[in-house]
Amino acid sequence: MHPAVRPGGSDPVAAGSAPSRRSGVSPFYVMEIFGAAEARRAAGLPVYNLAAGQPSTPAPGAVRAAATAALKSDKIGYTAALGIPPLREAIAEHTRDWYGIDVPRRNVVVTTGSSGGFLTSFLAAFDVGDVVAMARPGYPAYRNILASLGCVVSEFECGPGMNFVPSVATLEALDPRPDGIILASPANPTGAMIGTDALAQIVFWCADRGVRLISDELYHGISYVGPAPTAWQFGREPIVVNSFSKYFSMTGWRLGWLLVPDELLDAVDRLAGNYAICPPALSQLAAVAAFQAYPELDQNVQRYRNNRGLLLNALPAIGLSRLAPADGAFYIYADVSDYTDDSLAWVRRVLLETGVALAPGLDFDTVAGNRFARLSFAGDTGEIEQAVEVLGRYLTR
């Protein structure tokens, strides 16, 4: 390889030593807050963690027992690229139980977290240059994965003016009409949910226009206003993305699943085998037992419900009264513009002065996110109570 010369300088730089342009995506700013919170904890200072996007509970007991048994009896080798048949069957049954729809096992694809599912499904559904629309605020990895794959991300405003819920009217207004749309309900960071009729209209609108809908259903099972419908109740064109991370309380097991339309199955199979060989075998063997654990998992949801009630009561009294719906998931997205127009600097300061760790809105919205912060209520109730108290003293001083 020929050395390249830096413009204006004489230092030789080996050609190819620079990172690719496609890797220039933004970091998760909240990770910096996590790091600072951990450093505080290590120094013996108090920390109230409302930044974590994960349950504070471990995997259900039945899953941990199944993992222990599998370690003794199974060699934990590679599995089929699309997942072990008993797990695919258990997910198909779960889909029947929860939504009353029959999904053939062949359409259920196990993935390495939903994050691995996004990669596989975006690659299977979209080409370089395809336009994919997503809501702003929204989960930042959609934008960053799509951009790194060479797709054109088209963000549409989905803020307080529309109560954070997209509709067919929102999609109809998109110009140019995208090749794909990714929607989450319940959504991160807002907890907003798309109603049953509205979701049906969106699925029909996309199907009629050949727009591929990716339906992120990661927070299903965690909702406070009735169960969330799946996009597959209204058609088999969408790709449904789901995961064991949130309701099933298994973030670190890195296991998710897709419901894949027939016409994409071969593509997903080829890509999955090449990109990851298979999802983690031990996690798959253990996750078969997850569907016995609804009572234990519903207790977690009851705790989230209590925490949510506590925050929705207490936050207005401490000066945070403009809040997104929080109908599902375990987040409250709060307008903090009375205190800052720089959410990252603000959450850094709040952590430094109170020990309360929050996620900056900037992670979820590069336009209006500086006016917002996300509070997670997935944690311990006592810690959340203390967080409200110290944050209240700080904001009302």
Ligand X SMILES: Cc1ncc(COP(=O)(O)O)c(C=O)c1O
Tokens standing for residue 234: 């209204």
**Torsion angle of C-alpha atoms 253, 259, 264, 270, degrees rounded to 10:** 20
Residue 158 CB, nearest distance to ligand X (Å)?
A: 14
Residue 253 CB, nearest distance to ligand X (Å)?
A: 9
Residue 337 CB, nearest distance to ligand X (Å)?
A: 24
Determine the residue type at 107.
N
Under rule CB under 6 A, which residues in 148-187 are in contact with ligand X?
184
| Residue placing its CB nearer to ligand X in the complex, 115 or 196 | 115
36, 89, 93, 115: residue in contact with ligand X (rule CB under 6 A): 115
Contacts of 10 (CB under 8 A, 6+ apart): none
Number of helices (H), then strands (E), belonging to the chain: the values are 12, 14
Angle at 183 between CA 256 and CA 278, to 5 degrees: 20
Q: Does 114 bind ligand X (CB under 6 A)?
A: yes
Q: Does 57 bind ligand X (CB under 6 A)?
A: no
Yes or no: say if 162 and 137 are a contact pair by the CB < 8 Å rule.
Answer: no
Residue 205: CB atoms within 10 Å: 17
Residue 76 CB, nearest distance to ligand X (Å)?
A: 21
Contacts of 174 (CB under 8 A, 6+ apart): 133, 154, 156
Q: Does 216 bind ligand X (CB under 6 A)?
A: yes
Q: Does 33 bind ligand X (CB under 6 A)?
A: no
Stretch of 18-26, 71-79, 226-234, 243-251 lying at the interface with ligand X (CB under 6 A): 243-251
**Alpha carbon 203 to chain centroid, angstroms:** 20
Residue at shortest CB range from ligand X: 113
166, 256, 279, 325: residue in contact with ligand X (rule CB under 6 A): 256
129: left (phi > 0), else alpha (psi -120 to 50), else beta? left
Residue 218 CB, nearest distance to ligand X (Å)?
A: 4
| Residue placing its CB nearer to ligand X in the complex, 170 or 251 | 251
Q: Does 327 bind ligand X (CB under 6 A)?
A: no
Residue 2 CB, nearest distance to ligand X (Å)?
A: 41
Tokens standing for residue 325: 């719906």
Looking up tokens 């969106």, which residue turns up?
202
Stretch of 25-33, 39-47, 112-120, 286-294 lying at the interface with ligand X (CB under 6 A): 112-120
Contacts of 328 (CB under 8 A, 6+ apart): 185, 186, 187, 191, 192, 193, 219, 222, 223, 224, 225, 228
| Count of residues interacting with ligand X (CB under 6 A) | 13
Closest C-alpha to 191, from 347, 41, 364: 364
Q: Does 245 bind ligand X (CB under 6 A)?
A: yes
Q: Does 218 bind ligand X (CB under 6 A)?
A: yes
Q: Does 251 bind ligand X (CB under 6 A)?
A: yes
d(CA 214, CA 192): 17
Q: Does 284 bind ligand X (CB under 6 A)?
A: no
Q: How far apart are the first and last CA of the chain?
A: 62
Residue 72 CB, nearest distance to ligand X (Å)?
A: 27
Stretch of 61-69, 108-116, 194-202, 206-214 lying at the interface with ligand X (CB under 6 A): 108-116
| Residue placing its CB nearer to ligand X in the complex, 87 or 354 | 87
Q: Does 113 bind ligand X (CB under 6 A)?
A: yes
Q: Does 188 bind ligand X (CB under 6 A)?
A: yes
d(CA 199, CA 211): 14
Stretch of 14-22, 80-88, 113-121, 384-392 lying at the interface with ligand X (CB under 6 A): 113-121
d(CA 298, CA 98): 14
d(CA 224, CA 306): 10
Residue 243 CB, nearest distance to ligand X (Å)?
A: 3
Binding track over 129-148 against ligand X, x by CB under 6 A: ----------x---------
Query: Which residues of this chain interact with ligand X, rule CB under 6 A?
Result: 53, 113-115, 139, 184, 188, 216, 218, 243, 245, 251, 256
